[in-house]
Chain A
């Protein structure tokens, strides 16, 4: 498949935004259930939520460039009963709204206690909004992942590992960003988020490797025989019917071919997972927060490469019909 840069930016930006939001909520929850008196200021969560909203908004803007008729984009929210794309279109603004609320309630310290449990722990407003926002962000991971996982005609994508991978990569990039943020602001959450970032990036690397391995062992479900219904062992296309190009010969092929996919897969694995793990571990153990910002930048480029290779590596069934010009 031909990767669309608008979609690459959309998936990487909103993934990081959702991951950051979940990391902030995880940090707040860690304080709530903990026994210590440590806590973070409302400004800390407010700035974090603002960065998250900015990332989500940037992703939304990038996605608009994918549409040929964006002025009718609002219609994309209408078929949520059947289309994962439509569900994403609904859940993305919902996450943005909840992230905004999360930031605003924190910033202005508007935090009434909603419920007090038997053990004297209490659920306050910001924590509730945080849970809702994190839940919506998790739902958005599933929606975006399922857009690709439900395309059964691209066997490389049509697997629930697509969703798991995408979710883990978003979480990983968000937690690495949150670790850099807490490191820079000297937050007591630094250790927790850096540790979780390491775990999530490691898990992401493992599932990504498994997905790549799985994709090397795919057996095609359709053959030339079933494509044209002729019961011959040897079927060769003489011509696809035209000498120029068409949508079918441009949209469904990887620019650069299999070599480019291999190279970018490797680059994605290195820059998206291995280097961030090393930089995160180094920055955490040596107390060097600037290393974490380098990790964030390298991982973002790496995840862009990973997404490119993911899209380009998908081989669509329709390519059976488009093999030779003449």
Chain B
């Protein structure tokens, strides 16, 4: 008998200039990363409003990862520096409310780091799978 294995839903916000290209590189190098990762392309990591992250959780994501250019390499000069401050505060707040801190992550992945992208995603999916379903941030009103 086949047992239904738990597969987490992961949302990955990737910046257009580095991390999305990194994901592309991982693909063209045939490096495998789990299909549970849904990549959403954003123009810059600082386009990601903290609300996007909470919204993903509300609608049933089990983990949210945000990838951007390495600090100093932002296509728009300083976008990821703002991201860094915002996410530091947001993650600290989520932890303060008792949300598992492993469910959120920020990684800097450049366009040349296809291997890092695949490794990061593999690791993140493994972590979130171990945590199980997100019950603490889901919102039944938003799930249809």
Do they bind each other?
Answer: no
Q: What is B's interface to A at a CB cutoff of 8 Å?
A: none
Q: What is A's interface to B at a CB cutoff of 8 Å?
A: none
